[in-house]
Structure 1
Amino acid sequence: MKVIDLFCGAGGFSEGFERAGFEIVRAYDIWAPAILTHNQNHGNGKQIAFKGDIYEISMLDNEEFEKWIPDTEVIIGSPPCIAFSNSNKSGKADKTEGIKLIEAFLRIVARKMSKPNSKLKYWVMENVENSLGFVEDNYTAEELSWPELGDFILNVPQKRIFNMKYFGVPTNRKRSICGLYPDLQELNGEKDIITLGEVQKALGKPTPLSYSNSSEIVKDPIYGIEMLSKELTDHHYVKEVPYFEWIKAKRQKQDKGYMGKMAFPENKDKPARTIMATLSGSSRESMIFNLEDSENRYRFPTIREVATLMSFPIDFRFYGDSDSVKYRMIGNAVTPKFSYEIAKVIRQNLNYQMSNDRFSVRKKFNKDILFTNLNGTVFDLKKEKPKKFESKYSYHVPYIIEKSYRVGLENQFSDGVVHWKTKIHYSQGKNAKVYENIFVNLCLYEQEEILKITKFIKKYIRETYSFENIQIQYCKTVEDRDGVGPDELLQAIKEFVESNNQFDRFVFIKEIGKEISMKIVTSYYLLENILKGIEDGI
C-alpha cells in the first residue's frame, strides 16, 4: 500500500508507516535539511522527498496536480503548528497562516477523494492540540476554495486528542489527530509508560572521550534494535548549560506558582515533557539534565536522547550541520511509534498481510552522502553578553507567590531616563489584577520587626543609591556584576522575608479588599520604600 506524506519534515510520520509495511512514494517539505534527512532514512535509497510548497501544490491545475500527487491509498501530513502552539504568544498568535496550511492539506485530500474510482482510503492529519478547534466537521467546495469539487463534501469523521505516552512514546505529548482512519485505542496505562530514566539507561551516558573504544551493546527501548554504543550517532558529546542560562530556566520552571511548578532538572521517573523545536537553556520549556559526575552543573540532552524520547529508532540519522538544526527536526516531528500504531490499525482494517512489518529492521545509509556526527564534538561554554542600557526588566520577588499574589519590580524609560516601580500582581491572563500605591500601616509589625525593616531599607538605599545604577548592574553579565541590581535586590528581599516566621499570617489590605499574606505585604513595603528613598535621595 502506498502513502504520500505532506509537510513531511525529517520523516517521523513516514517512519511509522514504513515500519508498518507501507511504501512511501512521495513526500514534500520546504526545508532542505529535513528533505535530505527524509531521503536518507526512507525509500531504500530512492529519492522520494522533494521540495514543494503544499499550498501551491494544492492549487495546481489537474494535470500538474496529478504529477505531484499520484494516487495512493493513504495521505498523511502535519501542517506547521507554530501558530497554534501554546508557546507562541501564550497561544494568542495569529492563526491565519496555520489555517491556510491546514486547508491546503484538506484541499489535496478532497481533490483526491472526489475523483471517480478514487484509490484514497484513509487520510490522517497531525497537529498540536490547540489546532483542533480550527478544523471543521466537513468542508464544501467553496470552503476549500476549489469550485471543481462541485457538490463533494469532505467529511472529517475523526477529530481526537491523543497523548503519545499511551502509545509507547516516552514523551508526554498531546496531539490533535484528524481525518479518516479506524478507531485507535491506547496501548498502555500509566504503569507501562516508558520513562526518561529508562531511555537514558538504555542509551547509556554520553562518553565523548572513550566511546570509540567501547564494545558495549545498546538496545533500543522501543524497537528492540541492537547496535554497538560507539555506532550511536549524535550521542557521545556533552554540551553544558552555562550558569546564567540554567539559573534563569530554573526560576522560570519553579518560580511561576500561578502556572504550576516544573521539575528542575528533568524528572527521570516520568516520561519526558513535550519536546520543543528550539534548543534553549534559559526558558520554562528548556529540557535540562544533570551533568554526570558533577554537582550543580547541567547539560543539554544529546540529539540521540531527544530523538529516542520522540520514539525515533536509535539508528535514525539527522542530516543537519549543527545540534540546533537536528533538534529542530526532532521537535517538529510526528512521533514515529504513534505513527506506526495508526498505520497498523489501517493495515489491519484493510486485511493487509502483516508479513511486511519492518518494526525492528536496521537502516542502511549511503556513505557517499556527507553526514555530520556530533560524537566527540567539543562545545565551548556559551558566554553571556551584556544587555543594552534600554533593556526592559520585569520580575517578582523570587519564590514568594502566595495565593496567586506576587510583588513585582519593573523599569520604565522616559526620555532616556530609567525609573523603577513596584506593584502587587494577582494571577495572570483574564483574571490578572495590578495594585500600586498601597498604604501599609506599621502597626501591623512588632517594634523589633520595624527596626529590622528600617535597617534593611536603609542598607539597600545605600547600596543601590540610584535608579541608573540598578539598571547598569542589570545590564552587566552575571559574572561582571559588582553591585546590587534588580535580581540581587529581589533576592535580598526574599531572604529577609523568609527569615521571619512572623510574616506567616494574613492581613486585610484596604486597596485590595482582601486578606493577603504578610510576606506579600512586607515585600511590597520594603521595595516601595527602597525605591522611594532612592528617588528622594535619602
Structure 2
Amino acid sequence: MVKRFTVADFFCGAGGSSEGFRQAGFEIVFALDIWNPARETHKLNHPNCAHFGLDCYKDKDGDILKIETTDIDDVIPDVDVIVGSPPCVSFSSSNRAGKADKTHGIRLIKKYLQIISIKKHKPGSILKYWLLENVPNTMKQLQEEYTFRELELTNEILLSLGIQKRETDIALKIDISDENIYNAADYGIPQRRKRLVIGDYPRPDPTHKDKWISLSEVINAFDYDITDPNFGFSIDTEELTDHFYDTSIHEYDWLQARDRKQQARYYGRMAFPEETSVPSRTVMAMRTTSSREAMIFEGNNPGSYRAPTIREIATLMSFPITYLFQGKSEGIKYKLVGNAVCPKLAYAFAEEILKKEMIEVKQDFDPNSDKNKLEFDLTGWDSRKIPQNKHEKANFTEIVPNMKYKNFRVELDNSRPRYTDDSIVWSASIHHGTGKSNMKVARPSKENVLTMLYQFEDGDKIDSFIKANEEVFDKKIPCAEVFQSQYRLVEPNKDIFTPRDALGNAKILVDRFFPRNEYEDMSLSNMSNEKDGRIIKFSPRDILYKNIPIRIVAALYSVIHITELTVRL
C-alpha cells in the first residue's frame, strides 16, 4: 500500500488548503483556527481530522498563541506536510493606505514559523514540506532568514526539545521573491486572485495560463443541470445548498456601488456590473452591495442587479459544489468563503509534491455530502434587505460623472459636517493630479470661474450656458438641510434634485453646450494680468496650471451654482 502523506492545516478557515490536499490523496490529521464557524465547517467536511479547540484541547479556543512552545511537540502531531494561512487583513492592499496595525499578524506568522522550525529540526523529524499562504504584501513583513532566537527558541528550549542547534543558528531560510506569487486563474480557478506562497515545496507550473475559466461559466453552471464547472461532476438540484435564494439589490444600494466603482475620486473605473467574459475579481471576505468592492451581477430583469449567492462565490473560489459551509447567516458564510485558500490552488501544490515523491496522483473529488448536517441552508431564504436612511450628517463627496480626464475633476461635497455641529455646508472644488498623495485642490469663487469662461470667443454661448444652469437648477435645488435629506433618504422627494441628480444634470449641461467631440482639447488660460499670475490657486504646493479644459471649467461653474442655491433663505 502506498503511504498517504499526512497534513496539518493551521489557520485552516473553511478548509480550502485541506480540501486541495485531500483531493490529491493526502490525509488531513490536524486543523487549527480561532474562529468557531471555521472549525465547524472544517469538521463538517473533514470529520476524521483532529480539530484543535473543538474536539481536542477545547480550553485553548483554537488560539495558536495559547500553545506553549515546550508543548508544541506534544500538542501537534508529526506530519509530512504543514500548511497555513495566517490572517491577512492587516497586510492586504485593500486595507486603507496599508496603515493597519500589523503587530498581531506578525506574531501569528512567527508562531507558525516557530512550530515549523521545531517540527523540522526535532530528532526523527518526518516533516518534508511546508507552505505559508498569504496576500503578496506579506513579503514586506517577512525575513529571508530567521534564527532560532528570532522565533523565541532559546538555547534552553532547544535543549529541552532535543534539538542540537544553537539559538544563533539559522532555523529557516525563505525565498520571498516575486516568483512565489501565484495567480489562481493560471491554475484553472475562475478568479483573478494573487497570493504569496512561501516555504519548502516544489513550484507547480501553471495549468491554465492561456485558457482562463470565465465568470460566465460559473454563473451558467447553475442554470439547468447542476454541473460543477471546476470538477465536472453533476448533482441533482435538490442536493445543492446555499444557492436558490433571492440576492436582488435595492436600487439605492446598486446606484451607490455603481458610482463608487465608476466615479471614484482617486482610483480607476471598475466594471459595473461584473465583466463575465473573464475570471472574476478577487473574492473579498465581506458581503457588500453598495461599496466599490461589491461584486454585482445582472439581475433576472432588465435594469436589475443582484449579488452572487454563497454557492457561486464558493465556486469562484474552486470549492466543489457539494462543499458545506456551517454558518448561521449569509454574512458568516461569505466570510468563510472569502477568507479561504482556493482548493484547486492547494491541489496544484499537493500534486507537485506527489510528483517529486514519484507517487501517482489519483484525484478524488468526493462529491458526496450530507446537507442535513447544515445548521442553516440559504436555499429558499430571502436575503434582500431594505436599505436604511443614512444618518443626518452623513458625508457626501462625488465627482461630476464621467468627467475625470486630463487629471482634472470637479467635486461636490458636504464634508464640513465633520468639523461643525450645527450646519450643513455644500461646496464645489476642482482637483488636479493622479493619486491621493499628489492631488491639488482649489475652491474658487463663481467670479473666478466666470473670468475664465469669458475668455471663450463666443460670449453668447457662455451667456446661454449660464441661463441654462438657472433654468435647470434654480427650482430643483433646495436649501442645504433639505439637500442633505435628499442624499440620506432612501426615498427622497422626486420633485427636487438629490446631490447625485444635480451632478448628473451638470454633466448633461456641459455635454449640451461643450460636447466632448468638439471641445475635449480646448482649454482656457488660468493666467491673469495680476501680479501673482493665477486666476484659480491650487493647494497644497500650488502649480501654475496655465490651461484648464473648458469642459472642466464649465462643470465647475455648474457645481458652484448648485452650492450657492443651497444657501438661499
Provide TM-score, normalisation by structure 2: 0.86
Counterparts of 2:219 and 2:46, CA distance in 1:
26
Q: Does 1:423 align with 2:423?
A: no
1:340 corresponds in structure 2 to: 347
2:555 corresponds in structure 1 to: 523
Q: Does 1:68 align with 2:75?
A: yes
| Equivalent pairs, count | 517
Q: CA deviation at 1:22?
A: 0.7
Q: State which of 193, 198, 201 in structure 1 corresponds to 2:220.
A: 201
Q: Does 1:41 align with 2:61?
A: no
Counterparts of 1:257 and 1:74, CA distance in 2:
46
Q: CA deviation at 1:481?
A: 5.5
Q: Does 1:403 align with 2:397?
A: no
Which shifted more, 245-254 or 171-180?
A: 245-254
Q: 3-state SS of the aligned residue for 2:425?
A: strand
Q: Are the counterparts in 2 of residues 162 and 176 from structure 1 also a CA contact under 8 Å?
A: yes
Q: Are the counterparts in 2 of residues 24 and 43 from structure 1 also a CA contact under 8 Å?
A: no
Q: State which of 379, 386, 390 in structure 2 corresponds to 1:387.
A: 390
2:123 corresponds in structure 1 to: 116
Q: 1:97 to 1:482 in 2, by over 3 A?
A: farther
Q: Are the counterparts in 1 of residues 265 and 399 from structure 2 also a CA contact under 8 Å?
A: no
Counterpart amino acid of 1:139?
Y
- 1:469-484 alignment, distance < 5 Å: 469-480=482-493, 482-484=495-497
Q: 1:53 to 1:140 in 2, by over 3 A?
A: farther
Q: Are the counterparts in 2 of residues 409 and 421 from structure 1 also a CA contact under 8 Å?
A: yes
Counterparts of 1:238 and 1:181, CA distance in 2:
43
Q: 3-state SS of the aligned residue for 1:271?
A: coil
2:465 corresponds in structure 1 to: 453
Q: State which of 3, 20, 39 in structure 1 corresponds to 2:7.
A: 3
1:498 corresponds in structure 2 to: 511
2:105 corresponds in structure 1 to: 98
2:275 corresponds in structure 1 to: 267
Counterparts of 2:221 and 2:389, CA distance in 1:
41
Counterpart amino acid of 2:552?
I
2:541 corresponds in structure 1 to: none
Counterparts of 1:317 and 1:363, CA distance in 2:
11
Q: 3-state SS of the aligned residue for 1:4?
A: strand
Q: 3-state SS of the aligned residue for 1:126?
A: strand
Q: CA deviation at 1:24?
A: 0.7
Q: CA deviation at 1:371?
A: 3.3
Deviations 1:437-484 (A, max 9, x none): 262223234233222332244343453253233223223224455523
Q: Are the counterparts in 2 of residues 402 and 517 from structure 1 also a CA contact under 8 Å?
A: no
Q: State which of 171, 174, 180 in structure 2 corresponds to 1:153.
A: 171
Q: Are the counterparts in 2 of residues 233 and 373 from structure 1 also a CA contact under 8 Å?
A: yes
Q: State which of 310, 329, 336 in structure 1 corresponds to 2:317.
A: 310
Counterparts of 1:290 and 1:366, CA distance in 2:
29
Unaligned runs of 5+ in 2: 55-60, 159-166, 528-536, 538-543
Q: 1:465 to 1:308 in 2, by over 3 A?
A: closer
Which shifted more, 173-182 or 136-145?
A: 136-145
Q: CA deviation at 1:350?
A: 2.1
Deviations 1:369-419 (A, max 9, x none): 34322222233x422222222222212112210122111122213341221
Q: CA deviation at 1:221?
A: 1.8
Deviations 1:43-79 (A, max 9, x none): 44x5545454444245x042x3223211111110101
Counterparts of 1:378 and 1:197, CA distance in 2:
24
Counterparts of 1:530 and 1:168, CA distance in 2:
51
Q: Does 1:444 align with 2:455?
A: yes
Q: Are the counterparts in 1 of residues 469 and 509 from structure 2 also a CA contact under 8 Å?
A: no
Counterparts of 1:324 and 1:514, CA distance in 2:
51
2:534 corresponds in structure 1 to: none
Q: CA deviation at 1:366?
A: 7.9
Q: Are the counterparts in 2 of residues 54 and 105 from structure 1 also a CA contact under 8 Å?
A: no
Counterpart amino acid of 2:479?
S
Q: Are the counterparts in 1 of residues 241 and 371 from structure 2 also a CA contact under 8 Å?
A: no
Q: Are the counterparts in 2 of residues 9 and 333 from structure 1 also a CA contact under 8 Å?
A: yes
Q: State which of 362, 366, 377 in structure 2 corresponds to 1:361.
A: 366
Q: 1:127 to 1:9 in 2, by over 3 A?
A: same
Q: Are the counterparts in 2 of residues 114 and 152 from structure 1 also a CA contact under 8 Å?
A: no
Q: Does 1:300 align with 2:333?
A: no
Q: CA deviation at 1:523?
A: 1.2
Counterparts of 2:354 and 2:482, CA distance in 1:
68
Q: 3-state SS of the aligned residue for 1:282?
A: coil
Deviations 1:502-527 (A, max 9, x none): 64322232445242321211111222
Which shifted more, 473-482 or 176-185?
A: 473-482
Deviations 1:117-139 (A, max 9, x none): 32111110111111122111111
Q: Are the counterparts in 2 of residues 497 and 503 from structure 1 also a CA contact under 8 Å?
A: no
- 1:123-202 alignment, distance < 5 Å: 123-147=130-154, 148-149=157-158, 150=167, 151-157=169-175, 159=177, 160-190=180-210, 192-202=211-221
- 1:49-60 alignment, distance < 5 Å: 50-51=53-54, 52-57=61-66, 60=68
Counterparts of 1:57 and 1:119, CA distance in 2:
24
Counterparts of 1:34 and 1:67, CA distance in 2:
24
Counterparts of 2:81 and 2:347, CA distance in 1:
13
Which shifted more, 424-433 or 233-242?
A: 424-433
- 1:6-45 alignment, distance < 5 Å: 6-44=10-48
Q: Are the counterparts in 2 of residues 196 and 270 from structure 1 also a CA contact under 8 Å?
A: yes
Q: 1:258 to 1:403 in 2, by over 3 A?
A: farther
Provide TM-score, normalisation by structure 1: 0.90
Q: Are the counterparts in 2 of residues 257 and 404 from structure 1 also a CA contact under 8 Å?
A: no
Q: Are the counterparts in 1 of residues 53 and 62 from structure 2 also a CA contact under 8 Å?
A: no
Q: CA deviation at 1:534?
A: 4.8
Seq. identity, %: 36
1:234 corresponds in structure 2 to: 242
1:212 corresponds in structure 2 to: none
2:377 corresponds in structure 1 to: 373
Counterpart amino acid of 2:526?
I
